[in-house]
Amino acid sequence: MSKSIILASSSLSRIKIMRNAGIPFTSVKPNVDEREVEKSLDLSDRTNSERIALILAEKKALEVSSRYPQYVIVGCDQTMSLGNCIYHKPKNMIEAEQSLLSLSGKTHRLGSAYVLASNGKVLRRHISIAQLTMYNFSREFVKCYLKKIGKKSLLSIGSYQIDKEGIQLFRSIKGSYFTVVGLPIMELINDLKKENII
């Protein structure tokens, strides 16, 4: 039995992953203020980046499910952390530069979560983790890189476009490429099959 799927995301990377996987779906942007949700969390959740990703993915899935109860909703979120510091998408090029400089020569974590929901109920939850180690680079290098990619640096948490030239910033990556770009598609397909959705 096949049910219609909605991807609760406007992320071009996630849309591309789903399309390339051959999964029929439509995309709907969830009405969720991520920063407000984070502020409302208790301290133990607010300081755990992977927990935040799961909570936000669930909020997005359930919000869209409230509007489209007959569909299966895939809510997604990605968080990034370096030690105890949790990162967000930069608001401007200055923040993008600061973000990249703070990651230089270090290993950070990306958590990519999804939640499947239908008719206001959660069906499945999953999070995948990747560890990314960057090369050491100078402020001058970062400025040149950001000048080259421009405002695209504001579209991702780490200010890098890993599916493009940003891959050159990394010494090593432990974890799935799909986790890094924001949607653990193998695990999602497995869960969709378990739920007889595809």
Give how far Cα 142 sits from Cα of 94, 160, 174, 180, Å. 11, 10, 23, 20
Task: Supply the DSSP symbol for 72.
Answer: E
C-beta separation of 1 from 72 below 8 A: no
42 classed as catalytic: no
Q: How many residues are recorded in the chain?
A: 198
Q: How far apart are CA 132 and CA 172, in angstroms?
A: 6
C-beta separation of 71 from 4 below 8 A: yes
Options 42, 45, 77, 191, the catalytic residue: 77
Classify 51 as helix, strand or coil.
Answer: helix
Q: How far apart are CA 109 and CA 13, in angstroms?
A: 19
| Phi, psi angle pair for 103, to nearest 5° | -90, -15
* Encoded tokens for 6: 């909605």
* Encoded tokens for 145: 């890189």
Give the active site residues: 77
